[in-house]
């Protein structure tokens, strides 16, 4: 991680329609946020909150069951405007790179901002860690967040599909991948001469 730069490991949970047929005008809205602010490999702050959807305020049964979330929890959450203001505050404090697992989080945040007529809160770059993971390990398909951490012989933090737990799990995978990248850079491939003593081979051939 770059010195002086803040990394925001962030995860959102979204609304979802009841079935394949979406209600007219439906789009996914953020209903939970969790993030960890990291500088120099250390978590300096973390945050978790439910978020009140703007357009479709009533959650579908599918959404509640899949996320193990209740209507009351979401109704007691922060407004979307307050969420964006909070994220903007973090972005203005330090140069910030956001890190997500997959590209949906920033896409949905951008769409929600557009629908609400609010400026996107982040000025820096975004790292899609699922693509970094895919490229590093040469996987043909993108891997799910918790499947990826289990591939390292670890377990995810807390409960899957809870925003803060997923954000912290993303941070843990990031550290593991960066450690592997560092190892690969510092260990260049050995030549056949490094692996065997060629002088002994030549001595034997001379006999």
What is residue 207's predicted lDDT score, i.e. its pLDDT? 52
What is residue 193's predicted lDDT score, i.e. its pLDDT? 45
If we measure between CA atoms, which residue out of 63, 85, 70, 180 comes closest to residue 129? Answer: 180
What is residue 23's predicted lDDT score, i.e. its pLDDT? 85
Residues 102 and 134 sit within 8 Å (Cβ to Cβ): no
Domain count for the chain, please give it: 1
Residues 39 and 130 sit within 8 Å (Cβ to Cβ): no
Segment 63-107, tens digit of pLDDT? 999 999 999 999 999 999 999 999 999 999 999 999 999 999 999
Active-site annotation, residues:
13, 161
* 1 part of a folded domain: no
Q: Which domain holds residue 184?
A: 6-206
For residue 82, give both structure tokens.
């307050």
What is residue 192's predicted lDDT score, i.e. its pLDDT? 47
Judge if pTM exceeds 0.85: no
DSSP conformational letter for 22: P
What is residue 90's predicted lDDT score, i.e. its pLDDT? 96
Residue-wise burial string across 112-135, b where 16 or more C-beta atoms lie within 10 A, e elsewhere: bbeeeeeeebbeeebbbbbebbbe
Q: For residue 166, what is the domain's CATH number?
A: 3.30.420.10
What is the C-alpha to C-alpha distance for residues 4 and 93, in angstroms, rounded to an integer? 11
Regions of the chain short of the pLDDT cut 70: 139-142, 156-157, 182-207
Distance of CA 87 to the CA centre of its chain: 15
What is the C-alpha to C-alpha distance for residues 94 and 88, in angstroms, rounded to an integer? 11
153: left (phi over 0), alpha (psi -120 to 50) or beta: left
């Amino acid at each position: 991680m770059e010195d002086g730069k803040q990394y925001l490991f962030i995860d959102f949970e979204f609304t979802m329609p009841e079935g394949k047929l979406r209600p007219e005008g439906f789009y996914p809205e953020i209903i939970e946020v969790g993030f960890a602010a990291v500088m120099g490999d250390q978590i300096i702050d973390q945050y978790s909150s439910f978020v009140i959807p703007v357009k479709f305020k009533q959650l579908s049964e599918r959404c509640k069951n899949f996320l193990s979330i209740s209507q009351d929890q979401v109704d007691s959450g922060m407004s979307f405007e307050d969420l964006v203001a909070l994220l903007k505050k973090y972005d203005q404090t330090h140069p910030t790179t956001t890190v997500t697992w997959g590209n949906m989080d920033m896409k949905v945040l951008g769409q929600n901002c557009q629908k609400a007529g609010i400026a996107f809160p982040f000025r820096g770059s975004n790292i899609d860690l699922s693509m970094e993971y895919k490229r590093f390990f040469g996987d043909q398909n993108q891997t799910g967040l918790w499947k990826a951490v289990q591939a390292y012989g670890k377990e995810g933090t807390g409960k899957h599909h809870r925003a803060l737990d997923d954000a912290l799990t993303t941070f843990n995978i990031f550290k593991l991948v960066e450690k592997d990248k560092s190892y690969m850079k510092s260990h260049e491939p050995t030549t056949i001469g490094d692996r065997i003593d060629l002088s002994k081979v030549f001595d034997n051939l001379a006999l």
